[in-house]
Chain A
Amino acid sequence: MSSKNLDTLYRQVIMDHYKNPRNKGVLEDDSLTINMNNPTCGDRIQLTLKLEDGIVADAKFEGEGCSISMSSASMMTQAIKGKNIEEALKLSKVFSDMMLGKEYDEDDLDLGDIEALQGVSQFPARIKCATLAWKAMEKGVSTKEEQE
């Protein structure tokens, strides 16, 4: 039956992040703002990051989109908070590999809730939903790195 398949996509923890998004909102002050959208479907995210001494001190997101894109944004902000830029980018790489169904190198990274998104790799049409927030984060920290 097909719903079994669906359960690998819509895991409970994903729906929890969708329903109760963590770090929803906009950071004020001199935070970094990244706007990104998925032009094929209209999903939209605004990510604000506060970087201090090469560390993601705070992260918040606003946006509209499906359960996958919004839960992924929620998990991403949760995961990168307190990490340094290098670690954040490494997480992003691990996430990208996970989406592509590749073997990924966890090392000593704590993936936490993010692993729940693993099932997305079996739904190719939805991978872009899951990676939107991560792409925004990558764009944000790399512009910051260039400035420094």
Chain B
Amino acid sequence: MNAREIRQMFPILDQEVNGNPLVYLDSAATSQKPVPVIEAIDKYYREYNSNVHRGVHTLGTRATDGYEGAREKVRKFINAKSTEEVIFTRGTTTSINTVAASYGRANLSEGDEIVISYMEHHSNIIPWQQVAKQTGATLKYLPLQEDGTISLEDVRTTVTADTKIVSIMQVSNVLGVMNPIKEIAKIAHENGAIMVVDGAQSAPHMKIDVQDLDCDFLAFSGHKMCGPTGIGVLYGKKMHLEKMEPVEFGGEMIDFVGLYESTWKELPWKFEGGTPIIAGAIGLGAAIDFLEQIGLDEIEAYEHKLAAYAMEKMSTIDGMTIYGPKEASKRAGLVTFNIDDVHPHDVATVLDAEGIAVRAGHHCAQPLMKWLKVSATARASFYLYNTEEDIDKLVSGLVKTKEYFSDVF
């Protein structure tokens, strides 16, 4: 994989920020978009914008083909059995909310348990808090090991016969930890629970095979994997989706509408009320083509290399605290850190003056921040267009940050 060549396909990266070449290290928040994705969306609006599933006219057919073609690309991307199992949503948050509101409300009652972990993103916490309140179910948290990983021993003791839903992120947006989803799913199933996977940070970076993982649901977003914002995916096993009620009602999702009763379309459309996110889905399809052309295994290996390089270089800086596992082999391509007593906002502002974009704050994971005993952290996250040179610039930016604040502390 040639990151320097790949980088050329991301026009946004070719600019100066505050007088310095942009170093974009915030892909875990949102990734940048390559030319083929931008062009696919542009082409749709210029040449065949039309509503789907209803037009008899030619543009309507082309739009429908584009939209449904993207669904097939997603199916192949995650190895779902059929496109009936692939629902387009607004993003990971909407996908998880759909599972909680539909499957959760129908299948949970008092005495039942939902198991999540301390490292979850708010999007995989709050929908479950809400459904627990509505149904009387109990929300339980899997503890974390010292290095932030989940132990299967803990999964075995936390998940019980009363557990109905286990919902865990595949890759942590803060710790970079990669969770053993396949093994956790097995334990969930042995206890009669379903396995929900938050794939927001994994789908962009590694090959996912939903049949191999044997997960019941998988949620992910387009915008973190070179696609546009506003499009995401909910994968669900057909046996669940068939029994589930839609969450949104209205146009597009109906079979027959009477005065007082209506029936729904078949899968997957019964979950896609309203005019769908057509350009978004087509853009996501183009992003999948782009990523698959390079190869997800290649991308994953490259990012491991970057993470290892970053860990090595960053840990040489005096006063640096890096969160999560120390071994690069246990990490995805991001490093969350604090430096001395400099607040992460101040770190991010100084880096920004150098043209380096990192994230600072709680990363939508307040329970995890509490577990880490910090109020905020800074995070550098990498993607296929980043290079070791970017990391060198980050490291020298961090040294400057230290120097800048050294007379204060």
A142 to B407, CA, bound (A): 39
A5, A40, A65: the one contacting B375 at CB < 8 Å is A65
Contact with A along B325-364 (1 / 0, CB 8 A): 0000000000000000001111001101110000011100
Tell me which residues across on chain B come within 8 A of A42, comparing CB atoms.
Answer: 361-362, 366, 369, 375-376
Is the C-beta of B18 less than 8 angstroms from some C-beta in chain A? yes
- In contact, B343 and A40 (Cβ under 8 angstroms): no
- Residue count of chain B within 8 Å CB distance of chain A: 24
A43 to B375 alpha-carbon distance, docked (Å): 7
Q: Are A2 and B343 in touch, CB under 8 angstroms?
A: no
With both beta carbons as reference points, the residue of chain B lying nearest to A16 in the complex is identified as B408
Which residues in A have their C-beta under 8 angstroms from that of B366?
42
B350, B408, B409: which contacts A6 (Cβ < 8 A)? B350
Q: Interface 1/0s, chain A 89-111, versus B by CB < 8 A? A: 00000000000000000000000
- The docked-state distance in angstroms from the alpha carbon of A6 to that of B375 is 24
Indicate if B258 sits at the interface (CB-CB under 8 A): no
Contact status A66-B353, CB under 8 Å: no
Question: Do residues A126 and B375 form an inter-chain contact, with CB atoms below 8 A?
Answer: no
Within 359-409 of B, Cβ neighbours of A (below 8 Å) are at 360-362, 366, 369, 375-376, 400, 404, 407-409
Q: A9-B349, A126-B349, A129-B345 are in contact. Are A41 and B19 (CB under 8 A)?
A: no
In contact, B343 and A65 (Cβ under 8 angstroms): yes
Report the nearest A residue to B353, measured CB to CB. Answer: A2
Cα separation A80 to B362 with both chains bound (whole Å) = 31
* A147 interface contact, C-beta 8 A: no
A2-33 near B? 1/0 per residue, CB < 8 Å: 11011001100001001100000000000000
Complex alpha-carbon distance, A54 and B170, angstroms: 56
Q: Assuming A2-B18, A2-B354, A64-B375, is B345 touching A41 (CB within 8 A)? A: yes
Tell yes or no: B20 within 8 A of A by CB: yes
Is A15 in contact with B408, judged by CB distance below 8 angstroms? yes
- Please name all residues of chain B whose beta carbon is closer than 8 Å to the beta carbon of A19 when the two chains form the complex: 408-409
B18's nearest neighbour on chain A, judged by CB, is: A2
Contact of B345 among A5, A15, A44, A126 (CB under 8 A): A126
**Contacts A41-B360, A41-B362 given: A67-B346 contact, CB under 8 Å?**
yes
Task: Name the residue on B nearest A129 (C-beta).
Answer: B345
Task: Give A124 to B375 CA distance when docked, in angstroms.
Answer: 22
Q: Are B354 and A66 in contact (CB under 8 A)?
A: no
C-alpha spacing A27/B345, complex, angstroms: 28
Cα A123 to Cα B350 in complex, Å, equals 11
In the complex, which of the residues B20, B343, B350, B375 contacts A44, with contact meaning CB atoms closer than 8 Å? Answer: B375
Given A6-B353, A6-B404, A41 contacting B346 (CB threshold 8 A)? no
Chain A residues whose C-beta falls within 8 Å of the C-beta of B360 in the assembled complex = 41
Q: Which residues of B contact A10 (CB under 8 A)?
A: 346, 404
Interface centre among B353, B354, B360 (most CB of A within 10 A): B353
Residues B20 and A41 in contact, CB atoms below 8 Å apart = no
A68 located at the interface, meaning its Cβ lies under 8 Å from any Cβ of chain B in the complex: yes
Closest residue of chain B to A70 (Cβ to Cβ) is B343
Contact B350 A68 (CB under 8 A): no
Say whether B346 contacts A66, CB under 8 Å.
Answer: yes
Complex CA distance for A64 and B374, rounded to whole angstroms? 10
Would you give the shortest CB distance from B374 to chain A, in whole angstroms? 9
| A125 touching B361, Cβ below 8 Å | no
Cβ contacts under 8 Å, B409 to chain A: 19
Contact A67 B343 (CB under 8 A): yes
Q: Give Cα A24 to B368, complex, Å.
A: 27
**Mask: chain A, 64-92; 1 = CB below 8 Å from B; 0 = not:** 11111100000000000000000000000
Residue of B whose beta carbon sits closest to that of A41: B361
Does the CB pair B20–A18 fall under 8 Å? no
- Given the contacts A2-B20, A5-B18, A40 and B361 also touching, CB distance less than 8 Å: yes
Chain A 104-148, CB within 8 Å of chain B: the 1/0 string? 000000000000000000010110010000000000000000000
Q: Which of chain A's residues have a CB closer than 8 A to the CB of B353? A: 2-3, 5-6
Closest beta carbon of chain A to B60's beta carbon, Å: 41
Q: Quick check: B345 and A68 within 8 Å, CB to CB?
A: yes
A15 to B346, CA, bound (A): 11
* CA A79 to CA B400, docked complex, whole Å: 33
Q: Which of B345, B354, B376, B400 has the most CB of A within 10 A?
A: B345
B345 x A2 contact (CB < 8 A): no
Kindly list chain A residues whose C-beta atoms are within 8 Å of the C-beta of B375: 42-44, 64-65
How distant is the Cα of A90 from the Cα of B82 in the complex, in angstroms? 64
Q: Could you write out 9 A-B pairs with CB less than 8 Å apart?
A: A2-B19, A2-B353, A5-B353, A15-B407, A66-B345, A67-B408, A68-B345, A68-B346, A125-B352
List the 8 closest pairs (A to B, CB-CB), nearest first. A66-B345, A66-B343, A42-B362, A2-B353, A41-B361, A64-B375, A42-B376, A15-B408
Apart from the given pairs A40-B361, A123-B349, 4 other A-B contacts in the complex at a CB distance below 8 Å: A6-B349, A42-B361, A44-B375, A126-B349
